[in-house]
Amino acid sequence: MSTGTLIDGRAIAGQIQAETAQRMVSLQVRGIQPGLAFVRVGEDAASKVYVGMKERACAQLGIFSETRVLPETTTQAELLALLARLNTDARIDGILVQAPLPRHIDEAVVYASVLPTKDVDGFHPVNVGKLMLGDTTGFMPCTPAGVLELLVRSGVTIDGAEAVILGRGNIVGKPMAAILCQKARHANATVTLCHSRTRDIAAHCRRADILIAALGVPRFVTAAMVKPGATVIDVGVNRIPDAGAKSGSRLVGDVDFEAVRPVAGRITPNPGGVGPMTIALLLRNTVRAAEQRP
């Protein structure tokens, strides 16, 4: 039995990083070094890892970065005061507030407090609104923008395709739907957005030419749910017990990769699929923000 072609997120992210590095050269001629600030509240283990990966990626490209770590007990007012200072810091072109935040802090208020011009995560209401309107002057959220790049650079036909997205979150599902349904180049898909209340999710999935899983449920997508030849993008990051692993657990996606690959036409591995793209798009957004300095 043939197997689906792997969509190599690391290789495609490398292409984007090389393009971003060329844009860095043009900024250097202008005497500009892009700057990115990371803000982390608390000691969430996964957040530490993710911010560390982003810091290293910045260093490789020559982007100035700084990380502000606040204690778990930080008040919302204290966090907003820090973001207000970063908003006015001329060295900083982009601000990323690492999720999750402590429960006593309102994420929506925090994201709305970052200047839209420094919102390289694409979560500010102005940038969300621009995405919905098809206004390309805003910043798109990094993970769905990365998925779009995976599709485009892998030669997947989006125009007229049936795209099914599993998960209606504000970070991936909703913006992904908005991106794919635009009346624009590399879009024009017919989009179905499925979630926990959707009746017969499997039936929707089997219609999909492009299936994007962002539910946060380990190995939710099985081979029986996939249309033969479909493109399958696995956005999920789930930790499951594994007695054989040193840590006692391991990461898996939302797709049962080994079972689905023989059915799919193209499929992302996990890890090595969407993850590297998110970082590549974050750095591209940061460089773009720097290019727009007054």
Helix runs in 154-200, H state only = 173-180
Long-range CB contact pairs, 236-241, < 8 A, 24+? 236/270, 237/270, 237/275
Residues ≥6 apart with Cβ < 8 Å to 212: 147, 163, 164, 165, 166, 176, 233, 235
CA distance 90 to 25: 20
Residues ≥6 apart with Cβ < 8 Å to 67: 37, 38, 39, 40, 51, 55
Residues ≥6 apart with Cβ < 8 Å to 257: 234, 267, 269, 270
Catalytic residues: 54, 98, 121
95 secondary structure, DSSP code: E
